Structure 1
Amino acid sequence: MTASRDARLTVLSSLTEISRLEWDACANPGWDSVRPFGEDAATFLKAANGAAALDSVSERLPYNPFISYDFLEALEASGSATARSGWRARHLVLDGTDGPAAIVPCYEKTHSMGEYVFDHGWADAYERAGGRYYPKLQVSVPFTPATGPRLLVRNRSDDDARAALTAGLLELNRRIGGSSIHATFLEERDGAILEGAGFLPRADQQFQFENPFYRDFEDFLEALASRKRKAIRRERRDALSDGIEVEIVTGKALDEAAWDAFFEFYTDTGARKWGRPYLNRRFFSLVGERMADRILLIFARRGNRRIAGALNFIGSDALYGRYWGTTEEVPFLHFEICYHQAVEWAIANRLPRVEAGAQGEHKLARGYRPVITRSAHYIADPNFRAAISDYLRREREAVAAEHEILEDHVPFRAGEPS
């Protein structure tokens, strides 16, 4: 496939058609020099802090676990994200002089599940008007509402490569007869490139913990208003009463017994939320084998029995909370295992933020702040595009207004740094 006279792009139907080294050189450039990271999270973060001999946290080479070869290929190899499940791989690779110069993780979709930026209403409206909404192209990490790079370039400053990938997406969508292209949870730079090519911007918000490098959890609590501080202390005390203890598992300790326990929690939550969990048991074994030092499992246990757990992935500058589940209903245990423990671990390991997934205004009272997230959408039909453009303009205004209101209700004392 050729996007222009000067740029040659290849469409991959599987991650196995490219090497891990070639993919990761674009997805997380610079990290091949510090792999393998080691056997536990502490070793990983030591590598992160020292990558390329950069001392400042703000200067570290960023590492995002979700766009890594190991994570995405585990989704495919396990059967969780394949053509059969409605996620047909259509990854675009831009050729360079010494291997791929840029890549975009892309899927041809036959439904709108597992995306976390909702367009079901668009699909219904378009098909009621006589159109065919599917297939569409989805530029994202399946089942993962976490912001990160989507136009992956080996040279981070190469906007020409990003523009070539964007042209390739438009051509690929034309070839498959797609109604639209959806690039979700974008970094600002990728969003600007896509908007320049005619994609429509969309905004939403999440709640994230931002760490100005507190000394410890108590130092964080001192930054909160007195009433909120007391409420969190009471929550933590009540959650861990009745003999419940916290167990942190990472690195070599991530054995199959740990994954068996977590999968039970995950499937219970997934069945209640979505009717059917998106990820299968094999996926967790694969990421456990390949990414043990980038994974943090936080369990609650009573005696020898694990009763709840939360799965987190470790980036160079964020702890990403992904899934949670429990076999017992214990007051405040969800907040303790998913939020308070994640914040405490991030502070101890000097991570700048915790991303705890989509939605959840209840996170606000626990020290998480509202953060705007971005996506961009190309709509092929000009009439439908005009209607969507008007809808998104009004939606952005509503999101901005809500964000301003929520910012006024953060639990921090006046004058605390953001």
Structure 2
Amino acid sequence: MQIRISHSLDEVSAADWNRLNPDGNPFLRHEFLAALEHHDCVGQTFGWLPHHLLAFDDQRRLVGAVPLYLKTNSYGEFVFDWAWADASERAGMPWYPKAVAAVPYTPVTGRRLLIDPTLSDPEPVRRGLIEAAGVLAREQGLSSLHWLFPDASDTDSLEDAGFLLRMGCQYHWTQPGYRDFDDFLDSFSAHKRKKLKRERRRVIEAGIEHRIVHGHEADESDWRTLHRFYQSTFDKKWGTATLNLPFFRELGAAMGEQVVLIFAGIDGRPVAGALCFRSQGALYGRHWGCEADYHSLHFETCYYQGIDYCIREGLSLFEPGAQGEHKVSRGFLPTPTWSAHWIAQPRLREAIADFLSREQRAMRDYIHTLNAEHLPYKADRLPPAARHVRRID
């Protein structure tokens, strides 16, 4: 097996890369990651420098890969290490650059070790890629190496390799097979059901209607409108809008039905919009924006329309984005997420390991409390995933 570093995903064919992503995770598709590079959404400007790892067998066939970047900042990662960076800098050890195995700007759990699914024994490739990432970090003199939002299998492999694990929490919706949205609401307690119905009714009373457009159906006006809403969110709050209109256009053309646009409008005029992506079994909410404040419109556009879509399409999982404890009362379950970390400096590693141990205990207590006291579901209608989360330890 030979492992090399690629600074451009265009050095790999889409067919070869996507063969390593058989479940069709939209953010791991060649089309998504390459579009980020094509339109300078990653690179020098925003401090995401592609250093993808590619593993080839002795027939020069791609059998493994890692989406890997050298970072000159911590923006767009959603696993916040600014306190670690500050401690490192105060100790006289530069924190940047560092290496990050992740999907830029995308806090979605998925595989970070992409392995050919036809291999009879994937472990040598898996171990080789982890070792190669460590070699890169050491040879480049980097402060650290971080794997963000790996799935359970990759997390186990990284822990076995000696990485420190960090536990986070997101809020995900799952369905056991609801017939329709009303069937979903019937699983709520009366008080919570009444509140959710009232929120949906307020949107209707404002004269707002929703329409859903998939990427290959969107026209130039749709993309310009969506990008305007996306940009407005950053203008109103904080941060930098790293995704541009050409990037959105390319995604629509290249990824088709995996791109889902949800528009809210009054008399045919869009007033808000959300951008989602879908795989074979899941919907992922990513970005949202609006031109004015309308009561409960964010909940309807970003949550309830997505739930309704999942029920109609038979999707079992809806991840509406990072953070947001208010999602729990609307049927989203607190769900553990993970990251894995290698720290070059021994004393800093020891301090971070102690912090992570205490943070994880607190996070487990937090998730248990939410599940025990704040879920909106009737006791006999708990989604199976809620019962699983109660047993995370």
What TM-score bracket applies, with the shorter chain setting the length? over 0.9
**Deviation at 1:271?**
2.5
User: Does structure 2 conserve the Cα–Cα contact (< 8 Å) formed by 1:137 and 1:182?
Assistant: yes
Under a length normalisation based on structure 2, what TM-score does the superposition of the two structures give?
0.94
**Deviation at 1:197?**
1.3
CA separation in 2, counterparts of 1:411 and 1:70? Answer: 39
User: Does structure 2 conserve the Cα–Cα contact (< 8 Å) formed by 1:89 and 1:108?
Assistant: yes
Map of 1:337 onto structure 2: 301
1:267 counterpart = 2:245 = no
**Deviation at 1:288?**
1.1
Under a length normalisation based on structure 1, what TM-score does the superposition of the two structures give?
0.89
User: Does structure 2 conserve the Cα–Cα contact (< 8 Å) formed by 1:342 and 1:354?
Assistant: yes
Map of 1:175 onto structure 2: 139
CA separation in 2, counterparts of 1:348 and 1:173? Answer: 46
Q: Report Cα offsets for 1:99-124 as digits up to 9, x if no partner.
A: 11100000000000000000011001
CA separation in 2, counterparts of 1:390 and 1:340? Answer: 40
Q: Pick from 370, 378, 381 the counterpart of residue 406 of structure 1.
A: 370
Give runs of ≥4 in structure 1 deviating > 6 Å: none
Letter in 2 for 1:109: K
1:14 counterpart = 2:1 = no
For 1:129-144, what aligned pairs fall within 5 Å after superposition?
A: 129-144=91-106
Which deviates more, 272-281 or 204-213? 272-281
Map of 1:85 onto structure 2: 46
1:159 counterpart = 2:123 = yes
Q: Report Cα offsets for 1:74-94 as digits up to 9, x if no partner.
A: 111010011332000000011
**Deviation at 1:254?**
1.1
Q: Report Cα offsets for 1:99-150 as digits up to 9, x if no partner.
A: 1110000000000000000001100110001001111000000000100000
1:70 counterpart = 2:31 = yes
For 1:188-337, what aligned pairs fall within 5 Å after superposition?
A: 188-337=152-301
Map of 1:46 onto structure 2: none
Letter in 1 for 2:171: F
- Gaps of at least 5 residues in structure 1 are 1-6, 30-61
Letter in 2 for 1:151: L
**Deviation at 1:256?**
1.4
Letter in 1 for 2:155: G
CA separation in 2, counterparts of 1:140 and 1:231? Answer: 37
Letter in 1 for 2:40: G
Letter in 2 for 1:412: Y
User: Does structure 2 conserve the Cα–Cα contact (< 8 Å) formed by 1:114 and 1:278?
Assistant: no
Q: Pick from 110, 116, 119 the counterpart of residue 78 of structure 2.
A: 116
Map of 1:25 onto structure 2: 19
Give secondary structure in 1 for the equivalent of 2:336.
strand
User: Does structure 1 conserve the Cα–Cα contact (< 8 Å) formed by 2:46 and 2:242?
Assistant: no
User: Does structure 1 conserve the Cα–Cα contact (< 8 Å) formed by 2:174 and 2:317?
Assistant: yes
**Deviation at 1:242?**
2.5
Q: Report Cα offsets for 1:336-370 as digits up to 9, x if no partner.
A: 00000000110111101100110001111111110
**RMSD of the alignment, in Å?**
1.1
User: Does structure 2 conserve the Cα–Cα contact (< 8 Å) formed by 1:63 and 1:317?
Assistant: no
CA separation in 1, counterparts of 2:5 and 2:249? Answer: 28
**Deviation at 1:304?**
2.4
